[in-house]
Amino acid sequence: MHSLKITKIIDETSSVKTFYFPHNLKSRPGQFVMLWLPGIDQKPFSISFDDGRTFGLTIFKRGALTDKLFEMKINDRVGIDGPYGVGFSIKPDIHHIMVAGGYGAAPLAFLAEELIIKGNNNIDFCIGAKNKDSLLFTQRLNNIRLRIATDDGSSGQKGLITDLLKNIITADSRPKFIVTCGPELMEKKVLDICNQYNVDAEICLERYMKCGVGICGQCAMDDLGICLCTHGPVVTREVANKIKEFGVYHREKSGKKKYFI
Ligand SMILES: Cc1cc2nc3c(=O)[nH]c(=O)nc-3n(C[C@H](O)[C@H](O)[C@H](O)COP(=O)(O)OP(=O)(O)OC[C@H]3O[C@@H](n4cnc5c(N)ncnc54)[C@H](O)[C@@H]3O)c2cc1C
């Protein structure tokens, strides 16, 4: 566990901030860290930026730990462990279509920047949000082909980000690779579209995680039994197709099933 100082805080939206820490994390896009606030909790967060000197976490304010984090200032310290988990493949030669919803844009922005460093600029970054004010990273990603969909039409196309995806897939017959991270029902739609058009994909999933190292079994996925913290959070299309609970239910802290619909 490293005790790290916050060196920069960016207000992304009214409920999302990116916190930067001076540390060579040696992470891959899609991996996560456990962030510990003594006396409060320890929670997993995807790495949203890592240039080898500094890394960033993009955090949505939603409960005890994130509320406390939002009160913190530059030079305050947090505990960081990691990186953990399996990240996205880095494929330098293929057209990537990235589908991000909410803070799911965090690991995908990091992936897009990593691909550009490797010489792959062939990226469509599709980002969906409720409205213009909830969109993440539109400035940060201004050198990438951004495709935007909002529920109310205040930015980009009105409607679902998955509608844009179909149009991009069918625009030409060149090989494509799809990566997605966001609300699980959105990810399930993306998976269904990938299956329909037979396009390879990687999906970053989220489950309640406690230990992060595959010991506690909290994030075991039915009915493969794999722990998402060590076999994921990024899984291939083939694995996602075998996870029976994907898009159907997840488990609360107590282990009780909670259905998405
Ligand atoms: C691999 C992974 C990557 C994540 N990346 C991000 C990220 O980049 N940005 C971000 O804002 N959030 C991310 N999360 C979710 C984040 O861990 C929870 O939102 C956070 O733990 C909420 O903590 P809290 O104490 O503020 O709220 P709480 O009141 O404790 O929880 C609010 C809700 O968050 C979810 N949650 C709480 N604890 C966990 C946990 N240990 N694991 C998973 N979900 C939990 C539950 O649905 C819960 O109802 C990620 C989760 C996982 C598993």
List, for residues 18-75, the tens digit of each pLDDT value.
Answer: 999 999 999 999 999 999 999 999 999 999 999 999 999 999 999 999 999 999 999 9
Best residue for ligand 1 mutational test, from 14, 21, 42, 43 (most atoms within 8 Å of Cβ): 43
Q: Which residues line ligand 1 (CB under 6 A)?
A: 32, 41, 43-46, 58-60, 62-66, 103, 106, 206-209, 233
Q: How far from the centroid of its chain's Cα atoms is residue 56's Cα?
A: 13
Measured CA to CA, the distance from residue 254 to residue 230 in angstroms comes to: 20
Residues comprising the binding site? 211, 216, 219, 229
Task: Assess contact for 18 and 27: CB atoms under 8 A.
Answer: no
Which residue has the CA at smallest separation from atom 14 of ligand 1? 45
Which residue has the CA at smallest separation from atom 44 of ligand 1? 208
Tokens, residue 243: 């996870």
Question: Residue 56's closest CA among 40, 78, 86?
Answer: 78
Which residue has the CA at smallest separation from atom 46 of ligand 1? 208
Percent above pLDDT 90 for the chain: 95
Q: How far is the CA of 26 from the centre of ligand 1 (A)?
A: 23
Measured CA to CA, the distance from residue 32 to residue 218 in angstroms comes to: 16
Q: What is the β-pairing status of strands 123-129 and 95-101?
A: parallel
Contacts of 104 (CB under 8 A, 6+ apart): 180, 181, 182, 183, 204
Question: Residue 68's closest CA among 39, 103, 27?
Answer: 39
pLDDT at 20: 98
102 DSSP assignment: G
Mean pLDDT of 150-154: 94
Residue 58 pairs in a beta bridge with 18
Which residue has the CA at smallest separation from atom 13 of ligand 1? 45
Q: How far is the CA of 43 from the centre of ligand 1 (A)?
A: 6
Domains and CATH numbers, the chain: 2-84 (2.40.30.10), 88-204 (3.40.50.80), 207-261 (no CATH)
Percent above pLDDT 70 for the chain: 100
What end-to-end distance do the CA atoms of the chain give, in Å?
38
Q: How far is the CA of 146 from the centre of ligand 1 (A)?
A: 27
Of ligand 1's listed atoms, the one at least distance from the Cα of 41 is: 25
Best residue for ligand 1 mutational test, from 28, 36, 41, 62 (most atoms within 8 Å of Cβ): 62
Best residue for ligand 1 mutational test, from 45, 57, 218 (most atoms within 8 Å of Cβ): 45
Mean pLDDT of 10-17: 95
Of ligand 1's listed atoms, the one at least distance from the Cα of 232 is: 1
Q: pLDDT (tens digit, 9 = 90+) per residue, 195-244? A: 999 999 999 999 999 999 999 999 999 999 999 999 999 999 999 999 99
Of ligand 1's listed atoms, the one at least distance from the Cα of 16 is: 11
Tokens, residue 52: 């080898």
Task: Assess contact for 20 and 11: CB atoms under 8 A.
Answer: no
52: how many CB neighbours lie within 10 A of its CB?
10
Three-state secondary-structure class, residue 171:
helix
